Chain A
């Protein structure tokens, strides 16, 4: 078959193209949040003292970090799913969440005496944190990876990792409403490990399956 013959076949295939990529991404975001919420409320639910906690800056700060991560990673994953998109421009936003948490850690070690640091870092929920962020995040990750496959990522592994960060950001936002360890030292350690795990799974899966 020569190229002109191929062009004939392609031109005749006038079935409407697949659903627009941006509507697929927004649908995926809605679905991912709904799924994360369902898993969260089925397994955990918010902590009993949430009303009181909501008046403490440490508790509120957790959401600032996780939502920032979810939003910036989501934007970057979308850009990475389109060929020729200038995704490098969306890259710096991804540094916002790590920068926020780094600043909070510095403030925390300034205001707290050194002998309390390790207690705050280890906390009481580290295993729960790793388990539940992964469990809440794995469904959203699967949804984002499907959206990625609907697109055409020219860097599948990177796109998959960023999808993992977005899913991790959503999962951590829900989990933060349950967790009683509010210190930035705890968040910087355990949330990071759990979210990095999702990013690794995303990178490996997309690298293997997001071919087109």
Chain B
């Protein structure tokens, strides 16, 4: 990963924190690529789905984005979170993993390839309160905007934002806990 990508990631993240939705989408897409190739290299045996690690890491990045110092490089922060989530997942599966830190910096993006499977996040979504679940599903799976979601569910936009935020926080907390 070259220096330009690092600068660009930091720029996107700063814009995202300032409230730029498109910059944030772009940042999360790039972050997902990096974490995906990292997780695929680390998960060599079955039992763990690398894409679950990607999703759990993205949620953690979102909930803990205030822990990034805006004058620091993004990738060490991002990989530290991914590594933490990966170790967590292995621990839950009762496996042990040795992660060579040196290898992480050499990761590169791979084309996205989604396998159709029942993701862990889907199971967690089912455990949410109905109000939060329908808002999260409307915005993610149905791809609706905040105002469209508000109209369909008969809520105010403010209430949709609150339910979305709480729902995502709850998913991040429950992810992977069995």
Contacts and interface: CB of A to CB of B under 8 A. Distances in A.
A83 B164 CA distance: 25
Interface in B135-150: 136-137, 139-141, 143, 145-146
A146 to B, nearest CB: 15
Interface residues of A, number: 31
Interface in A180-212: 212
Contacts of A9: 136, 139-140, 164, 168
A17 B63 CA distance: 8
Contacts of B24: 10-11, 14
Nearest to A23: B66
A7 B58 contact: yes
Interface string B78-116: 111101100000000000000000000000000010100
Contacts of A7: 25, 28-29, 32, 58
Interface residues of B, number: 51
Contacts of A81: 67
Given A3-B114, A12-B146, A84-B77, A17 B66 contact: yes
B74 to A, nearest CB: 9
A152 B81 contact: yes
B151 interface: no
Contact of B69 (A1, A6, A82): A82
Please indicate which of the listed interface residues A8, A10, A15, A22 has the most CB atoms of chain B within 10 Å of its own CB.
A10
B154 interface: no
A20 B122 CA distance: 31
A3 B165 contact: no
A195 to B, nearest CB: 27
B42 interface: no
Nearest to B62: A10
B114 A84 contact: no
Interface of B is mostly: helix
Given A11-B24, A154-B83, A83 B19 contact: no
Nearest to A83: B80
Contacts of B19: 14, 16
A10 B60 contact: no
B76 interface: yes
Interface string B115-146: 00001011001000000000011011101011
A18 B62 CA distance: 10
20 contacts: A1-B119, A3-B112, A5-B141, A6-B58, A6-B121, A8-B25, A10-B24, A10-B28, A11-B21, A11-B22, A14-B19, A16-B19, A17-B66, A82-B67, A82-B69, A85-B72, A152-B81, A154-B83, A212-B63, A212-B64
